């Protein structure tokens, strides 16, 4: 199966999300260690969750790149889960505009990936 532009966009969106999520995990880890404001029982599961999502996004992006049909629905499900997690995580503290932007970006990425495969 040839790599269409829409599929390429979906692969890049998924890859970009994996990189951003990896950066968030590293910022969380470094910030917690530097400020020494963390509990291992809270930080460790959070980092494991980030690592699992990054690995899943990379695996699904590879599936999308190869044109595998099995990667489509799980990718959308991951997007929806990440929107829920980002809502829970970001709306508890911080500036509302950045929280809204982050959720909108995840939503747009989900729509972009869905649209890329909606008519293939």
Give 81-110 pLDDT, tens digit per residue.
776 666 665 555 556 666 677 667 777 777
**Both tokens of residue 41?**
């029982």
Q: Model confidence at 62, in pLDDT bands (50, 70, 90)?
A: very high
**Both tokens of residue 31?**
């910030």
Q: Which is nearest to 87 in space by CA: 96, 74, 78, 75?
A: 96
Q: Where are the domains of the chain?
A: 5-115
pTM metric for this prediction: 0.70
The pLDDT > 70 percentage for the chain reads 78
For residues 47-56, give the mean pLDDT. Answer: 89
Q: Which is nearest to 79 in space by CA: 20, 1, 3?
A: 20
Q: CA 103, CA 90: separation in Å to the nearest integer?
A: 9
**For the chain, what is the mean pLDDT?**
79
């Amino acid at each position: 199966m040839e790599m269409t532009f829409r599929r390429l966009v979906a692969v890049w969106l998924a890859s970009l999300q994996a990189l951003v999520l990896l950066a968030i995990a590293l910022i969380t880890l470094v910030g917690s260690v530097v400020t020494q404001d963390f509990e291992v029982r809270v930080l460790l599961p959070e980092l494991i969750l980030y690592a699992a999502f990054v690995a899943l996004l990379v695996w699904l992006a590879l599936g999308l790149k190869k044109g595998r049909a099995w990667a489509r629905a799980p990718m959308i499900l991951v997007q929806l889960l990440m929107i829920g997690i980002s809502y829970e995580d970001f709306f508890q503290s911080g500036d509302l505009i950045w929280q809204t932007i982050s959720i909108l970006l995840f939503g747009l990425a989900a729509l972009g990936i869905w649209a890329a495969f909606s008519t293939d």
